[in-house]
Structure 1
Amino acid sequence: MDEKISLLETKLQNTEKEVLELRSLTGGTPRVAFSAALRESGSGDTGPFNTATPLKYRRVFSNTGSSYNPSTGIFTAVVKGMYFFRFSMFNNLRSVPSSVVSLMKNSERLTSVWDTSGSDSNDMGSNAVVILLEVGDNVYVELQANRIVYDDGMNYNTFSGFLLFTV
């Protein structure tokens, strides 16, 4: 039994050293970053929906810290800090409906991108914010009611974010 305890103590000391070494490499700062595109594959419209609906960005390029959930389309802050978010929107030529997407924080609209149909064949827009988030705050991109976005496999519709610094 003494031999097992001694072995476990040695393993614990080695683990503590590894944790300290990893903290020194990262500065002890959580690493939070994600980037995703709307469609995993294929082409077509997303929407229209009868009510405003969070977009689910299914093709995840990166998700360090696992704060973005592709099943819901929602990013949840795991640490209080200043974050950067960016999203893009693409609309194919349509007479109706047009495209309106908004970046939301806990059901509050932060910023939007809007496009109406016109004589051109398609339009694209993007927007970004830097915001303070508390632990548990949610950020997502919402497609407004009776609107659409389009993608043809080129990943025009994206949603990305990362932690700038903790506060």
Structure 2
Amino acid sequence: MADKVTLLEAKLQTTEKEVLELRSLIGASPQVAFSAALRESGSGDIGPFTTATPLQYKRVFSNTGSSYNPATGIFTAIVKGMYFFRFSMFNNLSTVPNSVVSLMKNGQRLTSVWDTSGNDSHDMGSNAVVIPLSVGDNVYVELQENRIVYDDGMNYNTFSGFLLFTM
């Protein structure tokens, strides 16, 4: 009986070590995800600006990991990994539509959504990418110079991203 108790104590200690190891692995996994809309309230055009300008998505739905900064509109990677980003753009025929927004990584254009002069109205588009980021890399949506986007509180213009896995 004493041998069985000793064996069970050894197994219990091994199991406790494994549980602690698993907890440390789970606790070390970064959680990074955000989603935001352009306006907190109100309606109207944003832009035009004389130079390309990062859009500041002010209505933050979630910001786990605090990597998105609504004051600048910039997401900054806190961990090296593979990330997913999505953005949407909406314009209105309050003036002739002339909208171009681009997803940028460290100042380099990755992809864009646009709608320019035409006689249709209320156009919307979106795009998405999966990209590797290093710690400190910046990702943001940029409104191109002399362009506009429109929102009226319905949260048409959004910017979201999350960490798929670390590398």
In our comparison, the structure showing a higher alpha carbon Rg is 2
Residue in 2 that maps onto 1:61: 61
The two structures have a TM-score, normalised by structure 2, of: 0.84
Query: Any idea what the Cα deviations from partners look like across 1:37-68, whole Å, max 9, x if unmatched?
Result: 00000100000000000000000000000000
Residue-by-residue CA offset, 1:134-154 (whole Å, 9 max, x unaligned): 000000000000000000110
In structure 2, the partner of 1:154 is 154
Number of equivalenced pairs: 149
| 1:117 equivalent in structure 2 | 117
- Range with bigger deviation, 100-109 or 111-120: 111-120
For residue 135 of structure 2, give the secondary structure of its aligned residue in structure 1: coil
Opposite residue 88 of structure 1, the aligned amino acid is: S
Q: Which residue does the alignment assign to 2:78?
A: 78
* Mapping for residues 8-23 of structure 1, pairs under 5 Å: 20=20, 23=23
In 2, the alpha carbon distance for the partners of 1:109 and 1:78 equals 21
Q: Residue 105 of structure 1 aligns with which residue?
A: 105
Aligned to 2:10: none
The superposition leaves residues 91-149 of structure 1 with CA deviations (integer Å, 9 ceiling, x where unpaired) of 10154450000000000000000101322221000000000000000000000000000
- The match for 2:41 is 41
8 Å CA contact 2:102, 2:109 repeated in 1: yes
- Could you say if the C-alpha distance between residues 22 and 152 of structure 1 is closer, same or farther in structure 2, counting changes exceeding 3 Å? farther
Q: Aligned in 2, Cα 1:119/1:76: closer, same or farther, shift over 3 Å?
A: same
Gaps of 5+ in 1: 1-19
Residue identity in the other structure for 2:83: Y
Kept after mapping to 2: 8 A contact 1:93/1:117: no
Q: Deviations over 1:20-49 (max 9, x none)?
A: 599468363100000000000010000000
Residue in structure 2 matched with residue 145 of structure 1 by the alignment? 145
Which stretch has the larger CA shift, 35-44 or 88-97?
A: 88-97
Q: Is the 8 A contact 2:32 2:64 kept in 1?
A: yes
Distance 1:33 1:39 in 2: 19
Distance 1:39 1:61 in 2: 12
